[in-house]
A and B are shown apart, each in its own frame.
Chain A
Amino acid sequence: MEFIESINWAILAPIVIIQLILMAVAIIDLVKIEKANGPKWVWALVIIFINLLGPIIYFIFGRRS
């Protein structure tokens, strides 16, 4: 896996951290919110498994009451 080794992780780390923060904030909000726009477990799957876009989709479409 020389590809993995050739990457400078100091450069990439902020992106990974941002992604994790977005995911964490979305999950915390999903747990706290009274009612999401649709079943909560589906939103949890969307947030966790759709890379990059999942939390954004949740914040735009999931929070409508």
Chain B
Amino acid sequence: MNQWMTLFKKEMLEMSRNFKWIWVPLTFIMIAVKEPLTLYYMPQIIDSLGGLPEGAVIELPVPSAGEALAASLSQFNTFGVLIIVLITMGTIAGERKSGVAGLILVKPVSYAWFVTAKWASSMILIWFSYFLSYFLSWYYVGVLFKFISFTDFLQSFFVNGIWLTLIITVVILFNTFMKSPGAVGFISIGIIVILSLLSSSLPHLLEWSPALLSAYANAFIMGSNFPDELLPSIIVSVFMITLSLLASIAIFKRRELA
């Protein structure tokens, strides 16, 4: 366990040297908080851009608080996912390329600990940024529109967070058997896009798909209840997360020894 803490601390140190602890939370906050703000100021924005004929009247329905918060949530699933993939795609592949991984693994370091330390440090960074930004967005929605109950906020936070966790784990999995960070990012994004497209176009066939967790959280925050399929899809996601983590350790061991 001592060894794991050393590896973990090394990851944390590297993240602070890369300024990841500064820019990832700030970026998440910006993409999340931007949504309720633009929704709130939409009439003024349209007015100021002009180009409308004299006397044109546009009646915009005032978005509900739930819609505004759901808009931030969907930002995490587009722009947020992109950032998650971009910052985690190099964690192992990049170190292998530059030779740092080799330097560490010459010593009697457990491969499982090497992979899980990386996974845990990415998880902490992303969950921290995600919570901070989603919380601020919730606060903004409360100030500009109406406060949504905090338990609803927490529930949607955790449901969507499971999907983000799965994404981190999948990126780590591809990290273990591909050499170039670019390829890792490309394939992970491809798989995520295919999974979400399939799940959202065939929701009645893939009710348990982890990609639907974000859709469930979205619908929940807009006022409807969680469907019965929520629990199975959470179980499927947790199962997939553990499976990919175990697989990445196994693959990493084989690749490094070969």
A binds B: yes
Q: Is the CB of A63 within 8 A of B27?
A: no
Q: How far is the CB of B23 from chain A (nearest CB, A)?
A: 5
Chain B contacts of A65 at CB under 8 A?
Answer: 98
Residues of A within 8 A of B (CB): 3, 6-7, 11-12, 14-15, 18-19, 21-22, 25-26, 29, 52, 55-56, 59-60, 63-65
Complex CA–CA separation, A22 to B48 (angstroms) = 28
Chain B interface residue count, CB cutoff 8 Å, equals 24
Complex CA–CA separation, A12 to B143 (angstroms) = 12
Complex CA–CA separation, A52 to B26 (angstroms) = 11
Q: Find A56's partner among B27, B48, B98 (CB 8 Å cutoff).
A: B27
Q: Is the CB of B37 within 8 A of A11?
A: yes
Chain B contacts of A25 at CB under 8 A?
Answer: 19, 22-23
Q: Find A7's partner among B26, B41, B47 (CB 8 Å cutoff).
A: B41
Number of inter-chain CB pairs below 8 Å? 47
Complex CA–CA separation, A7 to B47 (angstroms) = 13
Using A3-B44, A22-B23, A55-B23 as known contacts, list a sample of 15 further A-B pairs with CB atoms less than 8 Å apart, ordered by residue number in A. Answer: A3-B47, A3-B48, A11-B140, A15-B30, A15-B34, A18-B29, A18-B30, A22-B26, A22-B30, A25-B22, A25-B23, A29-B19, A52-B30, A56-B83, A60-B86
Complex CA–CA separation, A11 to B47 (angstroms) = 20
